[in-house]
Amino acid sequence: MATGHEHTVKAFDQDIGQLRGLIAQMGGLAEQAIHDAMKALQRGDTTLAKEVRRKDKAIDAIEAEIEKLVVRLIALRAPMADDLREVIAALKIAAVIERIGDYAKNIAKRVPLIHSDGEDRIEAISMLPAMAQLASDMVHDALDAFSARDASGAAAVCERDNALDDFYDSIFRALVTFMVENPRTISQVAHLLFVAKNLERIGDHATNVAEMVYFAATGRYLADAEPGDAVES
Amino acid sequence: MNDATPTQHKMSARDVSVFYGDKQAVKNVSIDIDMDKVTAFIGPSGCGKSTFLRTLNRMNDTIASARVEGQITLDGEDIYSASMDVVQLRARVGMVFQKPNPFPKSIYENVAYGPRIHGLAASKTELDWIVERSLKRAGLWEEVKDRLGDSGTALSGGQQQRLCIARAIAVDPEVILMDEPASALDPIATAKIEELIHELRGRYAIVIVTHNMQQAARVSQRTAFFHLGNLVEYGETDNIFTAPREERTKDYITGRYG
């Protein structure tokens, strides 16, 4: 829906540009948090895990900044139509990215608990990075779709959520089997179940973001779109 | 739920074009105006929205070079037919202008004038009652009831505009056309006019031309966007301002017109 036309009032374009910049920055930090939390988990790196928890404050700060900017933009510019949809989407997306950051932080929090002792859990951990990559890619692509106002890109993200859910189901079964076979690892591997659940939730949130992007771009709800509907960009 | 007869629109325009000499100001506009709706016309200056509004009660008749083509009906009756009484038409389709234009007479006379010339009141008592009712509907009664003999031109701008609305209401119209009724008023007086439009809805079909997009969004249920003489998009106000179908509409309402 990008028309390429600029607003007669240039400051309006600057505000919108700043808003997109903040969302991109916030999304980048959230992706980094997922990535670092998983790296910390794999390596048992408690310092890096601590770093993830510390950096979450930066994500929260950007959310507050986006909220302020959106309130100011609505008050001063009275956005309409696609502008209005984008501004409202930005406000909601910021809240969702903040939640995604919290899930990453929660994964980081579990790192010292999982690595307190024992070696057996290494095998269990090895299942998770591929799932984390898929979840993180969904977040990345949903936010790319936002900055490009790309409805078809957003729809594609939603379609990947099923794959992530399947991933979660198979990891769940694998981890339960692992616990049955190695009962003394139960308390640690149970934490891995939560990690998998967190990744699954991140995928759900990425899907929410993608749905908001679709609405912002088209003015229609993705749920209302017929499968195979041509998506105008 | 309803019976089989199709709903009759209060006014319908079909393929209406307006020319000023050689210049075509309105191009093949077709639109329906309904009784229980406020319809807003928006668009940049010179887009033809005011010209089109004026065709709805034949105000363009007074402009020698203006020529109207196409058909406009009021309750199914062609308002440009030879049998149409224009004075009667303008009583049925009233008009309020951008600049309040009360007569240089008393507040009472401003409102009583129309009913008197149209013979709507049989007695002084009845005329008094029409004046009071009209001023009440226009939300002005409480402010002027103790000084009905004062000149209408001595009122504030916002009060003058409500007096003009009372004057339009006094002849019991069916449609009220408003051409930027609040653009010369401060925000408080504007809010009063908007509140008034809200209260008048249902009793009259209301068509309002406005440059203030927020105002159009606030007061109307349907919005028509005009551009270069064309009716570009006409639909539910909610849709026009949140998800317009046409690129030109979107550019205009989001401030990208240029």
* Partner residue facing A81 (CB), from B214, B253, B257: B253
Domain of residue B79 covers 11-253
Put simply, the answer to whether A79 touches B254 (Cβ < 8 Å) is yes
CATH code at B92?
Answer: 3.40.50.300
Question: Over the stretch B128-183, which tens digit does the pLDDT of each residue have?
Answer: 999 999 999 999 999 999 999 999 999 999 999 999 999 999 999 999 999 999 98
For B230-250, letters b (16+ CB in 10 Å) and e give: bbbbbbebeebbbbbeeebbb
In the block, tokens 């984390």 appear at A132
B258 belongs to a structural domain? no
* Partner residue facing B254 (CB), from A83, A218, A220: A83
B5 belongs to a structural domain? no
How many Å lie between the alpha carbon of B38 and the closest alpha carbon of chain A? 20
Q: What angle do CA A32, A33, A39 make, to 5 degrees?
A: 90
CA-nearest residue to A6 within chain B is B256
All residues of chain A having their beta carbon less than 8 Å from the beta carbon of residue B216 are none
| Dihedral (Cα; B111, B113, B119, B125), 10-degree rounding | 50
pLDDT values of chain B reduced to their tens digit, one per residue, 258 residues: 444 455 689 999 999 999 999 999 999 999 999 998 999 999 999 999 999 999 999 998 888 899 999 999 999 999 999 999 999 999 999 999 999 999 999 999 999 999 999 999 999 999 999 999 999 999 999 999 999 999 999 999 999 999 999 999 999 999 999 999 998 888 888 998 999 999 999 899 999 999 988 899 999 999 999 999 999 999 999 999 999 999 999 999 998 866
Whether residue A220 lies within 8 A of chain B, CB to CB, comes out as yes
3 state DSSP class of B43: coil
All residues of chain A having their beta carbon less than 8 Å from the beta carbon of residue B258 are 5, 8
pTM over 0.90: no
Identify the pLDDT of residue A4.
58
Put simply, the answer to whether B256 touches A6 (Cβ < 8 Å) is yes
Question: For chains A and B, what is the number of CB pairs under 8 angstroms?
Answer: 48
Residue A195 predicted with pLDDT over 80? yes
Put simply, the answer to whether A81 touches B254 (Cβ < 8 Å) is yes
Write the ipTM: 0.72
Assign A226 a pLDDT band (cuts: 50, 70, 90). low
Tally the domains of chain B.
1
Question: What domains are defined for chain A?
Answer: 10-224 (1.20.58.220)
User: How far, in Å, CA of A51 to CA of B101, rounded?
Assistant: 71
All residues of chain B having their beta carbon less than 8 Å from the beta carbon of residue A224 are none
How many Å lie between the alpha carbon of B186 and the closest alpha carbon of chain A? 19
All residues of chain A having their beta carbon less than 8 Å from the beta carbon of residue B249 are 81
Put simply, the answer to whether A7 touches B243 (Cβ < 8 Å) is no
Which pair of structure tokens corresponds to residue B166? 């009372």
B166 belongs to a structural domain? yes
All residues of chain B having their beta carbon less than 8 Å from the beta carbon of residue A10 are none
Whether residue A4 lies within 8 A of chain B, CB to CB, comes out as no
Whether residue A149 lies within 8 A of chain B, CB to CB, comes out as no
